[in-house]
């Protein structure tokens, strides 16, 4: 079963076509990694899926149910409000710049969604938050404020915060791009653990090593289009398009 | 009688005047602060009527002299309709100062809210928070920290603007000082009066510096 599927997804910023007829499928349990040069529309694609960007045209399906359909910048069809809210909660998002809430401690950041949105009792949410922090190796920082943490630690908290909502899919938008090189590994390790536990993941990243090692499917995007998709072996060792060959030779 | 003992005899009157000044300042800015939050949110609202109303409100109160607003409220309104008469000069002053400071504070609050990183709104949205929850739990707590200096500024400016209440017959610190000066035929009273103003200002500064430190724990 597919968790997310797009059909002919397009997104324009004014006259600029950022996404052109993107057809993407992420199946349950799959790790899909999107690579490509900057300006390819990778982040926009991710952000379109959870409505941080509104799509110009095309369809998005969540678990094979129509999430929304747009034509010429207008939403023509979408799920009922409740279904839409539930579907959005099934998508966890991790941002390039962490976006932790600086006014809350690490633990409060992780508890915020469960307590205020899912109305989980505080004790239960706290217990679960501590388990998640344990999982990302930051149980000892539970009462610290995000500003006291390194970038890598902040990003791991951000992952725990997204996981606290028990999403069916995790969207990663260049989660290691804002990190100092020595901090990238700790975040990738958490992501690898997640993948190993069967979490469905859609990652935009420039970490080719991670893509090669963890991805079930690699998607290569350029100029707002998906030019190639396949196994890491196919994309990295036998890229078919000239753009992919050029991109890979410049990053590998 | 030497100068010092003369000042001591004036002191009770001066302090009474200072009390009026302080009460009006704190109540006006305090209530104005609550009102300004709604004005600021209103001015950011996408709902046309609310947006325009709040913009017009802020434009009016920042665009006309406070002195004229006080006059108009106390002496002007009753002429339009007797039901609009405000009998107490104190209440009239309170209303005018509150409405006026709300307009200035609203712009500070709006700037404070809009200075919060867009990523904070997005992160809140992805964990399912409603717009109101995002404001209450994420944005406003962060904006408060940035609002402390301009709000402190508003208190200190208001403290001195309150001297305008003399025109509707209220005895604030400035009014009392002038009365003593003319009855005793000396300018000496201005010195303790100014010292009292400075002490009140110093107290406000102390309170706001403390608040700023307290709210900076997470930075």
Is the per-residue pLDDT at B87 higher than 90?
Answer: no
pTM across the whole model: 0.84
Q: Mean per-residue pLDDT for A27-44?
A: 95
A99 to chain B, any CB pair closer than 8 A? The answer is yes
Shortest distance, CA B205 to any CA of chain A (angstroms): 24
B122–A95 C-beta distance less than 8 A: yes
In this predicted structure, what is the pLDDT of residue A28?
95
Interface of B with A in 113-142 (CB under 8 A): 117, 119-120, 122-129, 133, 137-138, 141-142
Q: How many CB pairs below 8 A link A and B?
A: 67
In contact, A33 and A45? CB cutoff 8 Å = no
Shortest distance, CA B145 to any CA of chain A (angstroms): 10
Q: How far from A48 is each of A5, A59, B219, CA to CA, in Å? A: 12, 11, 32
For A201-222, write each residue's pLDDT tens digit. 999 999 999 999 999 999 999 9
Pick from A48, A54, A53: which is nearest to A22 by CA? A48
In this predicted structure, what is the pLDDT of residue A157?
98
Q: Is A58 helix (H, G, I), strand (E, B) or coil?
A: strand
In this predicted structure, what is the pLDDT of residue B1?
61
Say what the ipTM of the complex is.
0.93
For B149-187, write each residue's pLDDT tens digit. 999 999 999 999 999 999 998 999 999 999 999 998 889
DSSP state of A178: T
A97–B219 C-beta distance less than 8 A: no
A147–B126 C-beta distance less than 8 A: no
Give the other-Cβ count within 10 Å of A81's Cβ. 8
B217–A145 C-beta distance less than 8 A: yes
Pick from A53, A55, A51: which is nearest to A22 by CA? A55
Shortest distance, CA A146 to any CA of chain B (angstroms): 8
User: Going by CATH, does the domain composed of B2-218 fall within 1.10.3720.10?
Assistant: yes
For A131-162, write each residue's pLDDT tens digit. 999 999 999 999 999 999 999 999 999 999 99
Cβ neighbourhood burial of A76 (10 Å; 0-12, 13-18, 19+)? exposed
Given the DSSP bridges, would you call strands A200-204 and A31-35 parallel, antiparallel or unpaired? parallel
H-helix segments, A73-180: 81-89, 106-116, 122-135, 151-163
Task: Give the mean pLDDT of chain B.
Answer: 93
Is the per-residue pLDDT at A27 higher than 90?
Answer: yes
Is the per-residue pLDDT at B217 higher than 80?
Answer: no
User: B214: pLDDT confidence band, cut at 50, 70 and 90?
Assistant: confident
A85–B126 C-beta distance less than 8 A: no
């Amino acid at each position: 079963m597919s968790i997310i599927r797009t059909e002919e997804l397009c997104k324009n910023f004014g006259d600029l076509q950022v996404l052109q007829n993107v057809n993407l499928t992420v199946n349950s349990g799959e790790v899909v990694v999107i690579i490509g040069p900057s300006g390819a529309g990778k982040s926009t694609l991710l952000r379109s899926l959870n409505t941080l960007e509104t799509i110009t045209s095309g369809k998005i399906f969540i678990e094979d149910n129509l999430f929304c359909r747009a034509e010429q910048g207008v939403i023509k069809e979408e799920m009922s409000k409740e279904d839409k809210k539930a579907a959005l909660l099934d998508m966890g998002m991790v941002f390039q710049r962490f976006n932790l809430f600086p006014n809350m401690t690490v633990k409060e950041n992780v508890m915020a969604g469960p307590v205020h949105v899912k109305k989980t009792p505080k004790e239960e949410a706290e217990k679960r938050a501590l388990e998640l922090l344990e999982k990302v190796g930051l149980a000892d920082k539970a009462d610290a404020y995000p500003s006291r943490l390194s970038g890598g630690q902040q990003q791991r908290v951000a992952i725990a915060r997204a996981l606290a909502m028990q999403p069916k899919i995790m969207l990663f938008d260049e989660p290691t791009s804002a990190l100092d090189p020595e901090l990238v590994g700790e975040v990738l390790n958490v992501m690898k653990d997640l993948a190993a536990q069967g979490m469905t993941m859609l990652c935009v990243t420039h970490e080719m090593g991670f893509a090669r090692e963890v991805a079930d499917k690699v998607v290569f995007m350029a100029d707002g289009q998906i030019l190639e998709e396949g196994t890491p072996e196919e994309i990295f060792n036998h890229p078919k398009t000239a753009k992919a060959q050029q991109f890979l030779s410049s990053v590998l | 009688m030497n100068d010092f003992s003369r000042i001591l005899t004036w002191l009770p009157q001066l302090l009474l005047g200072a009390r009026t000044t302080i009460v009006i300042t704190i109540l006006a800015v305090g209530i104005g602060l609550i009102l300004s939050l709604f004005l600021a949110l209103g001015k950011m609202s996408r709902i046309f009527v609310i947006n325009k109303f709040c913009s017009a409100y802020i434009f009016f109160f920042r665009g006309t002299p406070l002195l004229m607003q006080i006059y108009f409220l106390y002496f002007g309104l009753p002429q339009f309709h007797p039901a609009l008469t405000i009998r107490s000069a104190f209440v009239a002053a309170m209303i005018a100062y509150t409405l006026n400071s709300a307009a200035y504070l609203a712009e500070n609050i709006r700037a404070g809210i809009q200075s919060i990183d867009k990523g904070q709104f997005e992160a809140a949205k992805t964990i399912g928070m409603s717009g109101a929850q995002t404001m209450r739990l994420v944005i406003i707590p962060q904006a408060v920290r940035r609002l402390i200096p301009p709000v402190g500024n508003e208190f200190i400016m208001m403290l001195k603007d309150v001297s305008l209440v003399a025109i509707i017959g209220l005895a604030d610190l400035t009014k009392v000082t002038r009365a003593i000066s003319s009855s005793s035929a000396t300018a000496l009273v201005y010195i303790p009066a100014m010292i009292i103003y400075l002490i009140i200002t110093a107290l406000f500064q102390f309170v706001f510096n403390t608040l700023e430190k307290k709210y900076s724990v997470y930075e």
